[in-house]
Amino acid sequence: MTLPSRVADLTGFDLLLSVARAGSLGRAAAEHGISQPAASARMRLLEHRLGFALIERSPRGSRLTAAGALVAGWAQAAVDAAAGLDASITALRQEQYSRLRVAASMTVAEYLFPGWLGALRAADPGAAVALSAVNSAEVAHAVLTGTADIGFVEGPDIPVGLHAEPVGRDQLILVVDPAHPWARRRAGVPVGEVAATSLVTREAGSGTRRFLEEALIRVGEDLTAPLAELSSTTAIKAAVAAGAGPAVLSSLAVAADVAAGALRVVTVTGIDLNRILMAVWPAGRPLTGPALDLYTVAARSARRSAI
Residue 24 is part of a domain; what is its CATH number? 1.10.10.10
Looking at residues 140-168, what average pLDDT do you find?
Answer: 90
* Cα distance between residue 250 and residue 173, in whole Å: 6
**Is residue 31 located within the same domain as residue 175?**
no
CA distances from 15 to 10, 29, 82, 87, 113 (A): 9, 8, 14, 19, 51
Q: What is the DSSP letter of 287?
A: -
Residue type, 31: E
On whether both 255 and 139 belong to a single domain, the answer is: yes
Q: Are residues 33 and 126 in the same domain?
A: no
| 273-284: average pLDDT | 92
Question: Which spans in the chain are helix H?
Answer: 11-22, 25-32, 36-50, 66-98, 106-111, 113-123, 136-144, 191-195, 207-218, 233-241, 251-260, 289-306
Alpha helices in 130-250 (DSSP H): 136-144, 191-195, 207-218, 233-241
152 and 26 within one domain = no
How far, in Å, CA of 41 to CA of 46, rounded? 9
- On whether both 122 and 239 belong to a single domain, the answer is yes
pLDDT value for 200: 94
**Residue 88 and residue 230 in one domain:** no
CATH code: domain of residue 217: 3.40.190.290
pLDDT in tens, 70-88: 988 888 888 888 888 877 7
Report yes or no on whether pTM surpasses 0.85: no
Would you report the helix, strand and coil content of the chain in percent, each value rounded to 5?
A: 50, 20, 30
Position 306 scores a pLDDT of 52
pLDDT tens for 192-223 read 999 999 999 988 878 888 899 999 999 999 99
Question: What would the pLDDT profile of 113-131 be if each residue is shown by its tens digit?
Answer: 998 988 888 877 777 888 9
How far apart are alpha carbons 208 and 250 in whole angstroms? Answer: 7
Q: Which of 47, 75, 96 is the last residue of a domain?
A: 96
User: Please, is 187 exposed, middle or buried when counting C-beta atoms within 10 Å of its C-beta (0-12, 13-18, 19+)?
Assistant: exposed
Write the CB contacts of 255 (distance below 8 Å, at least 6 apart in sequence).
none
What local confidence, expressed as pLDDT, does residue 46 receive?
Answer: 87
Query: Alpha-carbon torsion 139, 145, 148, 150, what sign?
Result: positive
Q: What is the tally of structural domains in the chain? A: 2
Euclidean distance between CA atoms 182 and 233, whole angstroms: 21
Domain boundary among 28, 63, 96: 96
User: Is 224 in the same domain as 92?
Assistant: no
Are the beta carbons of 292 and 300 closer than 8 angstroms? no
* Residue 172: pLDDT band with limits 50, 70, 90: very high
- 273 and 206 together in one domain: yes
- 76 and 125 both lie in a single domain: no
User: Are the C-beta atoms of residues 97 and 90 closer than 8 Å to each other?
Assistant: no
pLDDT at res. 307 = 43
Same domain, 135 and 251: yes
Per-residue model confidence as pLDDT tens digits over 234-267: 999 999 999 999 999 999 889 999 999 999 999 9
- DSSP-assigned letter for residue 181: G
Buried b (16+ CB within 10 A) or exposed e, 47-76: beebeeebbeeeeeebebeeebeebbeebe
pLDDT band at 98 (very low <50, low <70, confident <90, very high): low
In whole angstroms, what is the distance from residue 17 CA to residue 46 CA?
13
* Distance separating alpha carbons of residues 140 and 137, to the nearest angstrom: 5
Domain span at residue 229?
105-306
Same domain, 210 and 154: yes
Q: What is the mean pLDDT of residues 29-56?
A: 89
Q: What is the mean pLDDT of residues 172-186?
A: 94
For residues 278 and 172, state if they share a domain. yes
Task: Please report which confidence band the pLDDT of residue 96 belongs to, taking 50, 70 and 90 as the band edges.
Answer: low
Q: What is the pLDDT of residue 305?
A: 58
Domain boundary residue, one of 96, 129, 153: 96
